[in-house]
Each structure stands twice: as structure tokens, then as C-alpha cells.
Structure 1
Amino acid sequence: MKCPFCGSDNTRVIDSRPADDNTSIRRRRVCDDCNKRFTTYEKVETIPLIVIKKDNTREQYDRNKVVGGIIRACHKRPVSIDQINKLADEVEAAIFTGEGKEVESTMIGQLVMDKLSELDPVAYVRFASVYREFKDVDTFMNELAKMLKDEKK
């Protein structure tokens, strides 16, 4: 493992433990050349998951796209990056435990919306407005009315 500070290959592991999500290993490392410490994570490499998009094109699953969409929805909201990563982990766990090697983008979007509705209602509406391609204010208001109705239950 190369040191991110000096680029040296002379690094060693000083501590290993399961990460918070129990799906990866957190390793604390030290560079023997510059004596700086850094953390790495190991995850099991899985079979690539293919996402079927709305226009029926296919592309490899990219966690960064999911996280990016969540970050945009949570912009200027009281949601930490740890909460965003936890949400992305939960979505990934749900889609990777499925039997197929392909998943529809609509399923991923719905999972994100379900998790966001529990985390932050404003972020949920922001995400839904892009994901569901709201065409006008009426569609937006209908979604808000549904959300308010669900909160009262």
C-alpha cells in the first residue's frame, strides 16, 4: 500500500478491525518513511452489478452516482456525510443481496427515496422531484400532500 503523503511503498498495518457496517475491514497503517498514519478499508469484491436505466441502456453500478444524488438532495440540510454513507450502504446491501446480476434504476431510486423520507423530508422531496421528473407545480404539490398525509398516520 502506498503512503498517500509521501508515496512510499514502505507501510505496515498497525491495527485491523471490522468497519462500522460489518461489510469491510478497517486497517490503520503507518508509513515507515514519513511516520504518518492513514486508514484504508477492504471490501469483498463482488460480481459487477448492471443497472438497467429508464431508456433500457445498461451500465455498471456506480456507488458514486448514488452518493452524489443523495448529497445534492441533502444540500444545506442537517444531514451528515456519515448519514449519507450509511444510507448508501443500506441501499447497496438491498440491491446486492438480490438474486440477479441486473437491477433496474427505478428500484435503486425507490430505495433511496424510501430511506430519504425517513432521514429528511425536504431531501426526500428534492430527490423525488428529480427522480420522478416532476413536470409542473401540481405534481410537486401532490407529492407533498402524500408525504404530509403519511406523516399524520
Structure 2
Amino acid sequence: MRCPFCAHENSQVKDSRPTEDGSAIRRRRQCEDCGARFTTFERIQLRELTVLKSEDKREPFDRAKLERSIAIACRKRPVPTERIERLASSIQRQIETSGESEMPSARIGQMVMEGLKALDPVAYIRFASVYKDFREAKDFEDFAGTISEAGKE
């Protein structure tokens, strides 16, 4: 593993343990050259996944990008980082177990929306504003109205 501080090629694993949800292995490493310590995470990848974007563009699935978009929606909200990671793991697992090697980005966005809806209503609206491409305040009002109506049922 390359050191993020000095770019030396070798590091020693000092400690390994599973993450809380068991979806990854957390490793504490120390660079053999500069002695700096850093943490890495190893995750299981069942198969190569490709995301189908608009206009038939394809790009490899990027879990970090998924986590980042969820975290942005949850910024300054009382949502622990572990819950964001758990949601990303759940979505990744759904994609991997779907049996498809290519997944439309719209379907991934829908999975994120469903997860955020259960996690935090404000984060859900924030993500929806980008995902559904809200253009004006009325779009927010209409969407928020559907949420409050669904809560009354």
C-alpha cells in the first residue's frame, strides 16, 4: 500500500479489525520509510459494476462517489457517519446482488432517495432537489407537500 504522505510503496499492517457493520476490514498501517500511520479499508467487491449515465455514457461504479453524495445531502444534519456508510453499503449490496453488471444511474438515485427518506427528511429533500433538478422554489414546495401528505396517511 502506497504511503499517502511520502508515496513510498511499502507499509506494515499494525492492526486489522472488521468495521462495525462487518462490510469492510479496517487496517492501521505504518509507512516503512517515513513512519507515518494511516488507515485503509478493504471492501468485498462481488463483480465489476458499470453505471449507465444519460446519453449512453458508462462509468465504473464508485462507492466513494455514492457516499459523498449521501454525505452532502446529510451535511449539518444529525446523521452519524456510520449511518451514511451503512446506507451506502446497503445500496452497493442491492446493486451487486441484482445480478446485473450495468445499472442505470436513475435506479441508483431512486435507491438513495428511498434510503434518505427513511434516514432524514431534510436530507431527502436536498438530494431530491439535485436528483429531480428543481429549478425554482415552487418545485421545493410541491415536493415537500407530497412528503407531508404521505406522512398524514
Structure 2-normalised TM-score? 0.80
Unmatched tracts of structure 1, length 5 or more = none
CA change 1:108–1:3 in 2 (3 A) is same
What is the correspondence of 1:1-150 to structure 2 with a 5 Å cutoff?
1-5=1-5, 11-31=11-31, 37-150=37-150
CA change 1:35–1:130 in 2 (3 A) is closer
Counterpart Cα distance in 2 of 1:68 and 1:32: 31
Counterpart Cα distance in 2 of 1:13 and 1:146: 51
Unmatched tracts of structure 2, length 5 or more = none
Counterpart Cα distance in 1 of 2:133 and 2:2: 44
Please report how far the alpha carbon of residue 49 of structure 1 lies from its aligned counterpart in structure 2 after TM superposition.
0.9
How many matched pairs? 153
Please report how far the alpha carbon of residue 66 of structure 1 lies from its aligned counterpart in structure 2 after TM superposition.
1.8
Residue 55 of structure 1: SS of its match in structure 2?
A: helix
Between the aligned residues of both structures, percent identity stands at 44
Please report how far the alpha carbon of residue 117 of structure 1 lies from its aligned counterpart in structure 2 after TM superposition.
1.1
Structure 1-normalised TM-score? 0.80
Q: What is the root-mean-square deviation in Å for CA atoms of aligned residues?
A: 2.5
Counterpart Cα distance in 2 of 1:6 and 1:137: 48
* Larger mean Cα displacement after TM superposition, 139-148 or 96-105: 139-148
